[in-house]
Chain A
Amino acid sequence: MAVVSQSAMTAQPSVASPKMTARDLNLSYGDNQALFDVNLDIVERQVTALIGPSGCGKSTFLRCMNRMNDTIDGVTIKGEVTLDGRDIYDKRIDVVQLRARIGMVFQKPNPFPKTIYDNVAYGPRIHGLVNSRDELDQIVMTSLERAGLLKEVKDRLQSPATGLSGGQQQRLCIARAVAVSPEVILMDEPCSALDPIATAKVEELIDELRSNYTIVIVTHSMQQAARVSQRTAFFHLGKLVEVGETDQIFTNPKDERTKGYITGRFG
């Protein structure tokens, strides 16, 4: 069992009191195995970056963490993912509530074709988090403020969200995720569709959000991983190759493949 020995050798799964953990996670789409024995801990109130070449399984792993893969036909998942020590794949877990606790921001900004206000208000409304219009207003304002968008949109909350620029739309999506007060926010290449200025704004935002939320971000940009994350995990061919402090991964990688990837020799 070469696979097992390799992951045991390179990955450093255990940290003290992790927010989320993955243990021996295997996932396949039909006959196509996409993840092999992934063991990873996510530290609370830190940014964990998942890096690796295209098709290495980092997005798939991210989508396992709020069970978004459930919606795809023919997926089989083995292993365990926990949130605060509870298995999220347990039959007694309510998926809808789970996804409220673990928010997600997608690669392409995907605001609802509604007003800016309704976009942010949607989550609190469906979960019944508010009792009055004032409370809802309060949540919308706070969320937009946290996403650094309030200044730009406060005069046009009732105009369509699709009229915003790409970067603004992505920050709106972050505001929308923040509005339901999640504990963890998963971000799947949130800046890949944005220009450098919008990217800088989102990165700044991620850094601020870290004080309140646990963030896991998938990124193709190693500079971005270096800039925003405290821990970095390197995936290759469906396996978690190496995980550690971001500084250590970028300056002193233990695995040859990690070294090859971050120095740009392949990927």
Chain B
Amino acid sequence: MTDMASLMEDRAAAKVISDNLHKPVDWDSPKIARNIKKRYAAERRFKMYGLSAIALALLALFVLAGSIGSKGYTAFFQTYVQLEVTFDAAEIDPDGTGDPAVIGKANFDGLIKQALRDRFPDVTSRQAKRDLYAIVSGGASYDLRERVMENPGLIGQTRKVWLISGDDFDMLNKGYISADVDEGSRRLNDEEIAWYDSLKSDGAVEKQFHTRFFTNGDSREPELAGIWGAAVGSLYTLMVTLALSFPIGVFAAVYLEEFAPKNRFTTIVEVNINNLAAVPSIVFGLLGLEVYLNVMHLPRSAPVVGGLTLALMTLPTIIIASRAAIKAVPPSIRQAALGLGASPVQTVTHHVLPLAMPGILTGTIIGMAQALGETAPLLMIGMVAFIVDIPGGALDPATVLPVQIYLWADSPERAFVEKTSAAIMVLLAFLVLMNGFAVYLRKKFERKW
């Protein structure tokens, strides 16, 4: 009965309060009008802040993309020089065997030099000749060789051939070297510029799309250096990272979120995971160096070690994102499954994980994009080496895109400046693709309840 009595008292008290509240409000008073004006002003201000923040962000993006694009787009084109090359039978295949082994060993470099001397016959001094030969890239002889191997009928003929130019010549053609500067302070002397003008007036200089940039590995010669070696290295590294961090991350998140008891131990684990996400990546690099290279003796500079190191770095990101995604699955779905007699594991695999998948995948791709752009830990495990070959597997020495950018940015040749910007563009394109894929996955797997 005491319950009843106290309830009655509460009701009486509530009535007194509500009576006091029911004084009429003058909605037209100046005080209210001022209030409304203030509220509108605050709303306008708030909108302005948001708009200016977005404008600032867009401006920053525009400046970044603009500066990289304007510097880098020329790297996608390469200057070629047209020369009249005599495929001298005496030089290529003196005995007329037609044997590819013989043809392959011929001195094609000599042929190009001969063609250059023929084009500019008045060049005589050793120094001037060396300058003359620099018009054509050292890699041009391989092109010529390939051409003859494919078509042995060329032997004995004289043909006009487009040959890839050297980097200084390319820079001159692209306008990065100006003839107006004092001769002593530019890479090319007056004579070389005169050669260029002569070739140019003959229509023997043109820019072609630079496919080598997308198919070659690194090189000391800027005109021969390509991004493909680094791209493949990045691919292998990311594959190792994904193969490790995705399953481990998802299992850890599922266990922590769905099965782990809430006690001191799991709290410590949780705090540590959050801390790991903020540890500087160089520390993971040092860890990788010590554990994978010094203790486990895995191969240096290999994508497998890079992938293992980056997996450590990506794990916290994936765990945190997956936990958030799992937590966002409504508890009513779990109850529905449990109430039907689904076991906890069935509940997770049949319902919680599929519903959390968009969030988990988004988190994973964000982690992968982070790993793709990571440089510091890879320097520690030797992926900064100069590697010309395209890696054939995760155990071959390789470098990755961001490290390639770092290497080229560090190179003295003028022609590497545009390569650096072009490599950044390639990396950004990869990132845009990956993030676009994340959005696509989210849209595809998203379900409503």
Q: State the A residues within 8 Å of B (CB).
A: 66, 68, 71, 73, 96-100, 103-104, 106, 108, 110-113, 122-123, 126-127, 162, 173, 176-177, 180, 236-237, 256-257, 260, 265-266
Contacts and interface: CB of A to CB of B under 8 A. Distances in A.
Nearest to A266: B7
B1 A71 contact: no
Contacts of A257: 3-4
Contacts of A176: 336, 340
B285 to A, nearest CB: 40
B340 A126 contact: yes
B336 A113 contact: no
Interface string B320-361: 000000000010111111111111001000110001000000
Contacts of A260: 4
Interface in B421-449: 447-449
Interface footprint category on B: 20 to 34
Nearest to B8: A266
B341 A127 contact: yes
B349 to A, nearest CB: 11
Nearest to A182: B341
A103 B346 CA distance: 17
A257 B338 CA distance: 35
B4 A99 contact: no
A123 B338 CA distance: 10
A227 B136 CA distance: 98
B340 A180 contact: yes
Contacts of A104: 335, 339
B336 A173 contact: yes
Contacts of A127: 341
Given A108-B332, A112-B333, A177 B261 contact: no
A69 to B, nearest CB: 11
A43 B373 CA distance: 67
B340 A123 contact: yes
B4 A96 contact: no
B343 A110 contact: no
B74 to A, nearest CB: 52
A176 to B, nearest CB: 7
B262 interface: yes
B322 to A, nearest CB: 19
Given A99-B341, A108-B332, A162-B449, 17 more contacts: A68-B335, A73-B262, A99-B340, A100-B341, A104-B339, A106-B336, A106-B339, A110-B333, A111-B449, A113-B447, A113-B449, A123-B340, A126-B342, A162-B448, A180-B341, A266-B3, A266-B4
